[in-house]
Homo-oligomer: A and B are copies of this chain.
Amino acid sequence: MTTTPTNLALDLGRSLVEPALRDAVRHCLCPELARVTAYHHGWTDAAGRPAEGRGGKLVRPALALLSARAASFTAADGVPAAVAVELVHNFSLLHDDIMDGDTVRRGRATAWTVFGAPQAILGGDALLAAATTVLLDTRRVGAASATRSLIAATQRMISGQAADMDFEQRDDVTVAECLRMAGDKTGALLACACALGAELVGGDVALVQRLAAFGEHIGLAFQLVDDLLGIWGDPEHTGKETGADIRARKKSLPVVAALNAAQSDELHALYHGPEPFTEADVRRITDLVERGGGRDWAQEEAARMTAAAEECLAGAGIADAVHGEFRDVAALILGRRS
Contact = CB atoms under 8 A, between A and B. Distances in A.
Q: Report how many copies the assembly holds.
A: 2
Contact of A128 (B128, B148, B152): B128
A126 B29 contact: no
Interface in A125-152: 125-126, 128-130, 132-133, 136-137, 143-144, 147-148, 151-152
A92 B158 CA distance: 17
Nearest to A36: B162
B158 A132 contact: no
A8 to B, nearest CB: 33
Interface in A177-225: none
Contacts of A129: 128, 151, 154-155, 158
Given A119-B162, A161-B122, A136 B147 contact: yes
A114 interface: no
A155 B121 contact: no
B118 A99 contact: yes
A73 B147 CA distance: 26
Contacts of A148: 132-133, 136-137
A32 B137 CA distance: 33
Q: Which are the 4 A-B pairs with shortest beta-carbon distances?
A: A30-B159, A99-B118, A144-B144, A32-B162
Contacts of A30: 158-159, 162-163
A133 B152 CA distance: 8
9 contacts: A32-B163, A99-B117, A117-B117, A122-B158, A125-B128, A129-B154, A129-B158, A132-B132, A144-B147
